[in-house]
Amino acid sequence: MSYDKELAAAKKAASLAARLCQKVQKVLLQSDVQSKNNRSPVTVADYGSQALVSFLLQQEFPAGFSLIAEEDSKDLRKDGAQEIVERITKLVNDSLTSDGSYSVTLSTEDVLKAIDSGKSEGGSEGRHWVLDPIDGTKGFLRGDQYAVALALLDRGKVVLGVLACPNLPLTCISGADRHSPNNEVGCLFFAEVGGGTYMQPLDGSSTVKVQVSAVENPEEASFFESYEAAHSMHDLSSLIAQKLGVKAPPVRMDSQVKYGALSRGDGAIYIRLPRKGYREKIWDHAAGSIVVSEAGGVVTDAAGNPLDFSRGRYLDLDTGIIVTNQKLMPSLFKAVRESLEEKALSL
């Protein structure tokens, strides 16, 4: 089955949302940051991105629309939030006007409803869009890496994914040059099941097919891990790297940008082993996982099982997530299991 129409709509929605985010990041003001209960900052751009993607997808696919997304409008409906809601609404309307395809002006209530349409529980039946409107809000606030991550589930399987990465250089990154000011930045990665993974600049010009690194020797492999210590135990990652003989220091980056960078061969390994009690949300991995697997990579949990997106809003999995190419997976898997066992014994 072809998902070409859905992929075209997803690329457009994610690109427009990324432009909205870029605009906000340029003029990041203190009042733009609201704090969520779990202390993860939420920005005007976060809500604006979700409202915009939700509205655009509903315009294209109104029948049986289902969206699983990170935000809801609860905090925006509280007293004192009116000014922020108006700013979000203006941002969304400006984005729609700049695109030119939609002659419509949304009210603040339209925007709040669009945000709230992301409350679907997902599951193994039917189709569900999966959105992280800004994956890596802390990276966004630091002026660093973040992504708009959008995927489509069909009967519990990820069938397409789009990652818009506004601050990722178009050329290969390494630990040393990922902040280089000379690099042109802004990448859009997209993949459809059975169709491979492609990358293009966010402005939509030339598209190239990408492949994961072909490195076979672990000593030559570089690896990514989460910037946030809560998302990955850095001490465990360094033990795994030591077992593999990896020489290069880890590249720490926020968000699913790591999946995009890995899909084009910037690094060969991504390890995410969160602390006990952390539950992975499907919007943090759905788009990234298909972008890597369609580029020839392998994405599994720490027990070697494929990720199961059919169980609702969470990925209930064994310990963590490991991503690499097919040649390196056996040795990476062995190093992960040994390191986890050693850590368990030392507790």
First-to-final CA distance of the chain: 49
Nearest-5° angle of CA 258, CA 259, CA 260? 90
Q: Which residues contact 187 (CB under 8 A, 6 or more apart)?
A: 163, 164, 165, 168, 169, 170, 199, 200, 201, 202, 260
> Comparing C-alpha atoms, which of 344, 231, 343, 347 is closest to residue 278?
231
Specify binding-site residues.
70, 132, 134-135, 284
Enumerate helices (H) and strands (E) in the chain, giving the number of each: 9, 16
Residue 307 neighbours by CB distance under 10 Å: 18
> Comparing C-alpha atoms, which of 62, 286, 5 is closest to residue 152?
286
Name the token pair of 335: 């190093």
Q: Which residues contact 21 (CB under 8 A, 6 or more apart)?
A: 45, 48, 49, 134, 140, 146, 148, 166
Q: Spot the catalytic one: 32, 89, 116, 137.
A: 137
User: Is 319 one of the catalytic residues?
Assistant: no
Specify binding-site residues for Mg(2+).
70, 132, 134-135, 284
User: Is 46 one of the catalytic residues?
Assistant: yes
Q: Spot the catalytic one: 46, 144, 254, 301.
A: 46
- Could you list the active site residues? 46, 137
